[in-house]
Copies of this chain bind each other. A is one copy, B any other.
Amino acid sequence: MKRILGIDPGLLHTGWAIIDVQGSERKYIASGVILPPTKIALAERLAFIFNGVSELCETFQPNECSIEVIFVNKNGKTTLLLGHARAAAITAVAVKNIPVFEYEPNKVKKALTSIGHADKDQIYKMLSILLPTAHPKTADESDAIAIALTHANTSRFT
């Protein structure tokens, strides 16, 4: 059995999900969102995300972590800030020597729906089939579950 932490990072809200995987079985354990206070500076925000992910690792003791690759798009400034949030989350996992696996967005879509260009609705429907006990309340949580499942479905867990 392996426990996977999926993370959907963001400076405003960082979605997270924990799933257990054994062979072809996947079990939803927990999910939620790390919400830094709204009016704090970048550095404090990064510390908040780091501490949040750090606590998750201590509470749930995941064996591996899964996170999406990000690319610079039209709004470079926003992507750069997202990159900071992503790095804070990755660092929190990596300092605990938990391996971090990175997946490109279309790999996530393909691993869950077999379609590289699936839309959000198709992915969320697939999640409810694959993990019927998960009831994510936000898109951030759903995305974190999706990235955790992607790692489960593309790795060999025996």
**A interface residues, Cβ below 8 angstroms from B:** 41-44, 46-47, 50-51, 70-72, 76-77, 79-80, 83-88, 90-91, 93-95, 99-100, 102
**Measured CA separation A94–B44 after assembly (Å):** 6
**Measured CA separation A100–B44 after assembly (Å):** 9
Distance of A157 from chain B, by nearest CB (Å): 20
18 extra interchain contacts, Cβ-Cβ under 8 A, other than A47-B94, A87-B87?
A42-B90, A43-B90, A43-B99, A46-B91, A46-B94, A47-B91, A50-B94, A50-B95, A70-B80, A71-B80, A72-B76, A76-B79, A80-B83, A83-B83, A84-B84, A84-B86, A87-B88, A91-B91
In order of increasing CB-CB distance, the 4 nearest A-B pairs are A72-B76, A87-B87, A47-B94, A43-B100
**Measured CA separation A95–B72 after assembly (Å):** 27
Majority-rule SS of A interface residues: helix
**Measured CA separation A88–B88 after assembly (Å):** 6
Specify the chain B residue showing the minimal Cβ separation from A92: B91
Q: Which residues of chain B have C-beta atoms less than 8 A from A87's C-beta?
A: 46, 83-88, 91
> Are B42 and A95 closer than 8 Å at their CB atoms?
no
